[in-house]
Amino acid sequence: MKHVAPSTIRRLSLYLHFLEACALEGQETVSSRALAEAGGATPAQVRKDLSFFGSFGRRGVGYPVPELAAHLREILGLGRTFRVVLVGAGRLGAALAHFEGFGDRGFRIAAVYDTDASKVGARLDGLVVRGAERLGADLQAAPADIGVIGVPAASAQGVADALVGAGVKAILNFAPVRLLVPEGISVKHVNLALELDALAFALRDGSGR
């Protein structure tokens, strides 16, 4: 498969969410225009995005909702469930553990870890928080696909190393630090400070341009 632009992936994900909403309403086809609106793109871009992977629509008609949704799930690799481990059982960890978007879409939180002994043993959305030192042994017994880092910046790299060592191939990092990981490990960053700075920039001189 040829290289796919990250921006394309983001849009495909948005199209898919929209298609799922359409499917719930029993809609049978959608136009590239409707998808464009949902994905913050132009109709031409929607068609380009999709044509990169195949011809899913019918000229003069549009795209069949359930079929296109299935294709997108296939393309995005969402045709299975993912085992997720969450490291960090603080306030952020608690918010993440309860986030419906996880379970809804096949991302199952398998376990929650924390180094803080006072948090170990607590319950978080039906899961008992485990000591971080168990992570390696646990994942050897039952590997995980994705590790979510919800710990302070200072300990994030250490957690990342532990996750990589335990065979995790994808990391979602909420700590405001760049993580160093080996080739072949995917990392996504969610960095509040960056978003705030971008908003500050947008608000510069006067207010709101």
Partner DNA sequence: TATTGTGAAGTGGTTCACAGCT
Partner DNA sequence: AGCTGTGAACCACTTCACAATA
CA distances from 180 to 64, 84, 88, 113, 165 (A): 43, 20, 19, 21, 13
Contact region with DNA (CB under 7 A), list: 49-57, 80-88, 141-149, 162-170: 49-57
> How open is the CA angle 133-139-140, to the nearest 5 degrees?
105
Query: Using CB under 8 A, which of the segments 63-71, 111-119, 154-162, 184-192 binds a copy of itself?
Result: 184-192
Separation between Cα atoms, residue 189 and residue 22, nearest integer Å: 30
Give the binding range for DNA (CB under 7 A) out of 15-23, 57-65, 78-86, 122-130: 57-65
Q: Which of 55, 91, 192, 200 binds DNA (CB under 7 A)?
A: 55
- Cα(171)–Cα(89) distance, integer angstroms: 16
Establish if 76 lies at the interface with a copy of itself (CB under 8 A).
yes
Task: For the chain, give the number of residues.
Answer: 209
Taking CB under 7 A as the rule, does residue 51 contact DNA? yes
Among residues 62 and 150, whose Cβ is nearest to DNA? 62
Among residues 5, 9, 128, 142, the one that binds a copy of itself under rule CB under 8 A: 9
Per-residue string for binding with a copy of itself, 78-97, x by CB under 8 A?
x---x-------xxx-xxx-
**DSSP line for 79-90:** SS-EEEEEE--S
Binding partner of residue 194 among a copy of itself, DNA, none, CB under 5 to 8 Å per kind? a copy of itself
Select the span of 45-53, 112-120, 132-140, 198-206 touching a copy of itself (CB under 8 A): 198-206
Closest to 71 in 3D by CA, of 33, 35, 40 = 35
Proportion of the chain in helix, strand, coil states, percent, rounded to 5 = 45, 20, 35
Binding site for DNA (CB under 7 A): 3, 5-8, 30-33, 41-45, 47-48, 50-51, 55-63
